Chain A
Amino acid sequence: MTKQDKSTEGNDGNDDNEEGSAVENEEAAKGTDKGRKRATPRTRRAHARGRDRHGDEEDEDGEDGARRTGHRRHRSRRRGRAAGNEASDSDMEPAKARKNQANQKSKEDDEEEEDEKGGKGGKGKNEKKGDKKPDKKGKKEKANKKKKDKKKSGSGSDSESEEEPITEEELAKLKEEVEEKKKLIATLRNKPWKMKKKLSVLKEAQLFVEKFEGALGKGKGKKFYAYKVMMTKKWMKFQRDFENFKTACIPWEMKIKEIESHFGSSVASYFIFLRWMYGINMILFGLTFGLVMVPEALMGKPYGSLPRKTVPRAEEATAMNFATLWDFSGLAQYSVLFYGYYNNQRTIGWLKFRMPLSYFLVGVGSIGYSFMVVTRTMAKNANDDGGGDDTSFNFSWKMFTSWDYLIGNPETADNKFASITTSFKEAIVEEQESRKEENIHLTRFLRVLANFLALCTLAGSGYLIFFVVRRSQQFALEGLENYGWWERNEVNTVMSLLGMFCPTLFDVISSLENYHPRIALRWQLGRIFALFLGNLYTFIIALMDEINLKLEEEKIVKYNMTIWEASLYNGTIPENSTAPPIQVDPADVPRGPCWETMVGQEFVRLVVSDMMTTYITILIGDFLRAVFVRFFNYCWCWDLEYGFPSYSEFDISGNVLGLIFNQGMIWMGSFYAPCLPAINVFRLHTSMYLQCWAVMCCNVPQERVFKASRSNNFYMAMLLFILFLSTLPAVYTIVSIPPSFDCGPFSGKTRMYEVISETLEHDFPSWFGKVFGYASNPGLILPFILLMVLSIYYLNATSKSYKEANLELKKKLQSQAEENKRRNKQKAQKSNEQEENPFETEPSPAKAKGDKQDESTPNKDGKKGQDGNGSKNTGQPQEASSSQTLQRPGPVLNGHYPPQSRGGNLPPPSIAVTRPPGPRRPGVPGYPPGNPCLPGMQPGMPRGPPMYR
């Protein structure tokens, strides 16, 4: 091979990238002719097979990819790789011309891309191809035959895909480059560019990657590499599709968006919270429904087969009355909805489903799951918050981040304007004078008084509940039949009413205190929280009392039962001694008071009545009020819309708290009433629609808007707290109260958790039980707990030290900034002095003021004196620009700013500020060496419009 030949061949190496694009064009032009398109790769592949196994494999991979995505680029890569090297000169020419054209075109968009691609790629390949020359010649002849049928496809290139001896560093370089491009593709969306530019850059990068990534790896590795590349591509596509699918699955997105645009992000945050809650409850519901209720209903003994599954004779008459069902007694009580219905059979059905075990594990598991989810969400939120704790940018944040861009409603916008203005004014006033106290004694007195009143309210409500629960027990003892609706629903109604009116009362009380709104909100939330919590716990304590009563009662019943049984046997044995089981209708069997079912019922009633009150409040407090205000405004003495009643606001904090407490009740009661999650799902579902509707049609945006993100974790923390508090009683009852003897899955055991040890004994090999026994003895558990405490302590200490390091860094940053500032200013002043003489610029008074804390240097003062000649009236912009120009020659700012970030002084950043990273090759803009630009040579096919299938 001659030298000249070699050099052209050298170009060829470069060509095989570009040839690809030429081929691509040609094929694109032919585009519709599918049959041929398919045939072409076939023949080529067959050909390649004769040649080289690897090339073949790669071909196939490539083709697969091409089929899949329908991109011609794959094909071009394949051809470039497999066939490019032997392209004849005549083939090369059009390709080159094409390439050059392409180069020029794309250069306008992004020189850098081109730089890298043309320069580096070209060079890398050049060397590669040089080595390859010898063995190529021999194959050429063989190739010629096949070439004919390929001529059509333009490049007419042959497949020559033997191992290219790429040097190690070339390979590494190439690999690096490809990685870079890939990274670029992945991060392209982060670049603040115009879409057009992004598109072109993306195309370039994709082309590059597709061309070259096949060149990486060799031998067996190559095959694997190609496979890997293909898989990653598919995986990416799948991921994207999956993301799309996931977003499509998020319910109520449009509703929430609509609310967001009307009321800002804070109101929407409530609905997002509601949706999140709904998700959790769906899973809880799935657990209880799928693993407890359905198996029992399908495989357990049917209704009526056992005393616990039958309505007692005394209640039979009223069991199907609506009032009874509404009360969740009667037939509802003796159904899968409640604890008492479940049988203590170890396994049920043909599946040998271990019902008691499942019941226990589901109860524990749902609580564990809730803990996990809540903590995880909290951690995520905390991460998202990102050190927003320092208050050094108080004003700037107010300025730059206070507008909520989601607001699309003029009315809300007006409110927002007003609130921003007040916050500005407040901040200014606060800044000016550090909050003068007019009459500190009066304020203190009022605050103490307010707290006293709040405490009184709390204590009063607690006592009221306690009293009511006691009374209801009395009613229950005497038999509920003698009493009316009020007595029956007293507890729930009183609790709901308290929950409704006490917050308003607190609001009134808090106006005494004269706190800053934000602090007032915290107090308010804290008080409502205390109220709800107090109510809940009084309720629980009263329930505990009742449980104890029932346990007493149970003993008596048990005793009575033995007597009853004995009498039964005495009476019946003589008659039919052959049939040992006595035929007594299960409804007639005396039974104990099933305290678990009672607890479950109480919670269900509470939840339902809570739901009803919420809905009724919405209907009356929001809807009717809105209707009244809207229509009576025409004939009223004062303006109703802006005067007294006006429209109601959406009370975010109250609603969130309500939701949280409702959830607490669910967690507490769901062990004894498996239906509770189902009821809650229903409640959340309906309240989503109802509240969305109510908000959109009869609420006005809040005046005192507080941001969503900051309070998010506050709510989460409350939820966690409630979760903890609500698991306490549930766990207590599980662990320390013996289950009822004749109802529920754990009847007959002394404690509920014994189901675990029972399973271990029967279902696991004996060694397992032994190991478990050893593991659970205090000697092991105590050290384990100790270890956990130690690790918590250690983690705590580390996080503290990180925090300190953070603080330290912050300080360093500040001091550095100060330092730089000073240096900059000195420089600026120096140059100022120099320039001052010709131009007579002057430092503005504002600027001098701004540098108060800086050493107000003598020459500045001197300057001021110098050019006092009427320059006071020069405008600010002039001043700004002058100082700017003066500073430009100064050194780059402190280290923590990337160099380009001084770009504030550059022309407006519509030109890309950030450039894609990558090694730059000096002086080679587009063409590799020895590949002359041939603009005149037009290849046969014009670059047609892209054809999309």
Chain B
Amino acid sequence: MGGSASLIPRDLLGEYQELTFLSKQEILLAYKRFSELLPKEERENACSARVPKSQILTLPELRANPFQHRICHVFSTSETRDDSMSFEDFLDMLSVFSDSATSDVKSHYAFRIFDFDDDGTLDRKDLEQLVNCLTGQGEESRLSRAEMEQLIQNILEESDIDKDGTINLSEFQHVVSRSPDFASSFKIVL
């Protein structure tokens, strides 16, 4: 795939650099990885093709991530809601997860990833699902009912500033922006 680099027009490449937090090499690498996910016959026009979700999830970078489905969902612009990704979606994702992205953008997308029902707030159900994602699938590692209640209660007490029982975006960003290691852990590199 040596020639793949030249398949992105130079202007577009420049614009992508302008619009993402990625460097040229990273964009080219992303392009390479992206076109590898495509079936052979579609590789020619990888810029316009869409990769189905199942293919995206085979990326080693996302394989072990408990939020893989959410990430696909949030970054996908697919009209059919099948969570497939175009190259630009893919770049968007990498840009947000890149090293140099501001923590504002990162926290914005983190919020959307954690917002499992897409209603714009993190309510108890979202938080519960989030905890379940974080504690893994194993039965023994699951928190008990009481523990879960306690945990969510504590979280809401801390972060739900307006006490409406949910955490909204600004509250979320407020909390997360103070965390010393959010920006360094909310990161995916190819």
Q: Which residues of A contact B (CB under 8 A)?
A: 70-71, 185, 188-192, 194-196, 198-199, 202-203, 240, 243-244, 247-248, 257, 260-261, 265, 385-388, 390, 392-397, 399-410, 412-414, 417-418, 420-421, 424-425, 427-428, 431-432, 707-710, 817, 820-821, 824-825, 828, 844, 846-847, 849-851, 854, 876-877, 879-881, 883-884, 887, 893-894, 897-898, 901-910, 913, 946, 948-949
Contacts and interface: CB of A to CB of B under 8 A. Distances in A.
Contacts of A393: 158-159, 175, 178-179
A847 B185 contact: no
Given A244-B25, A424-B143, A195 B187 contact: no
B158 A414 contact: no
Q: Which of A190, A417, A708 has the most CB of B within 10 A?
A: A417
Contact of A199 (B19, B96, B159, B178): B19
Contacts of B119: 881, 908
7 contacts: A192-B108, A388-B180, A393-B178, A396-B176, A400-B182, A417-B136, A884-B164
B28 to A, nearest CB: 10
Interface in B1-19: 9-12, 14-15, 17-19
Interface in B155-180: 155-180
A893 B162 CA distance: 8
A717 to B, nearest CB: 16
Interface of B: 9-12, 14-15, 17-21, 23-26, 60-67, 77, 88-89, 91-92, 95-97, 102, 104-105, 108-112, 114-115, 117-121, 123-125, 127, 130-131, 134-136, 138, 141, 143, 147, 150-151, 153-182, 184-190
A233 to B, nearest CB: 12
B162 A401 contact: no
Nearest to B17: A240
Contacts of B190: 257
A405 B17 contact: no
Most A CB contacts (10 A, CB to CB) among B17, B77, B120, B147 go to: B120
B18 A202 contact: yes
Contacts of B124: 846, 876-877, 880
Nearest to B26: A247
B19 A198 contact: yes
Nearest to A248: B25
Contacts of B155: 395-396, 399
A604 B151 CA distance: 55
A334 B83 CA distance: 70
Given A243-B23, A388-B180, A393-B159, 19 more contacts: A244-B23, A257-B189, A393-B179, A395-B151, A395-B158, A396-B159, A399-B127, A406-B189, A409-B64, A414-B136, A424-B134, A424-B135, A817-B161, A821-B161, A844-B165, A876-B123, A880-B165, A887-B162, A946-B11
Given A403-B67, A424-B131, A707 B178 contact: no
Nearest to B182: A401
A821 B171 CA distance: 13
Contacts of B162: 817, 820-821, 824, 887, 893
Contacts of B185: 265, 401-406, 707
A879 B61 CA distance: 38
B154 A420 contact: no
Given A707-B181, A877-B123, A880-B123, A190 B88 contact: no
B50 to A, nearest CB: 13
A820 B170 CA distance: 15
Given A399-B127, A709-B184, A909-B169, A188 B164 contact: no
A418 B141 contact: yes
Nearest to B134: A420
A850 B160 contact: yes
Provide the main secondary structure of the chain A interface.
helix
Contact of B143 (A390, A414, A421): A421
B121 to A, nearest CB: 5
A195 B187 CA distance: 19
A392 B154 CA distance: 11
Given A883-B165, A908-B119, A185 B188 contact: no
A195 B170 contact: no
Residue among B11, B108, B163, B166 having the largest count of chain A Cβ atoms under 10 Å: B163
B25 A202 contact: no
Contacts of A71: 11
Given A248-B25, A904-B171, A908-B115, A408 B88 contact: no
Contacts of B60: 261, 408
A883 B123 CA distance: 11
A189 B179 contact: no
A67 to B, nearest CB: 15
A383 B178 CA distance: 13
A849 B153 contact: yes
* Residue among A386, A396, A412, A880 with the highest chain B CB neighbour number at 10 A: A396
Given A261-B189, A908-B119, A946-B11, A821 B163 contact: yes
Given A185-B18, A904-B171, A709 B180 contact: yes
B121 A904 contact: yes
A189 B20 contact: yes
B170 A909 contact: no
Contacts of A709: 180-181, 184
B105 A192 contact: yes
B180 A202 contact: no
A240 B27 CA distance: 14
Nearest to A822: B163
A388 B184 contact: no
Contacts of A247: 23, 25-26
Contacts of B176: 396-397, 400-401
Q: Which of B134, B159, B173, B186 has the most CB of A within 10 A?
A: B134
Contacts of B108: 192, 909, 913
B25 A405 contact: no
A189 B180 contact: no
A909 B120 contact: yes
A388 B92 contact: no
A528 to B, nearest CB: 24
Contacts of B135: 417, 420-421, 424
Contacts of A414: 136
B11 A948 contact: yes
A387 B168 CA distance: 22
A946 B153 CA distance: 55
Given A196-B88, A257-B189, A400 B114 contact: yes
A877 B175 contact: no
A662 B128 CA distance: 48
Nearest to A406: B187
A413, A428, A846: most-surrounded residue (chain B CB, <10 A):
A428
A908 B120 contact: yes
* The 5 nearest A-B residue pairs measured at CB: A904-B168, A388-B180, A417-B136, A901-B170, A195-B88
Contacts of A386: 177-178, 180
Q: Which of A825, A850, A904 has the most C-beta atoms of chain B within 10 angstroms of its own C-beta? A: A904
A8 B150 CA distance: 72
A903 B114 contact: no
B170 A897 contact: yes
A399 B131 contact: yes
Contacts of B10: 948-949
B120 A196 contact: no
A902 to B, nearest CB: 7
A810 to B, nearest CB: 10
B118 A431 contact: no
User: Which of A820, A846, A894 counts the most B-chain CB atoms under 10 A from its CB?
Assistant: A846
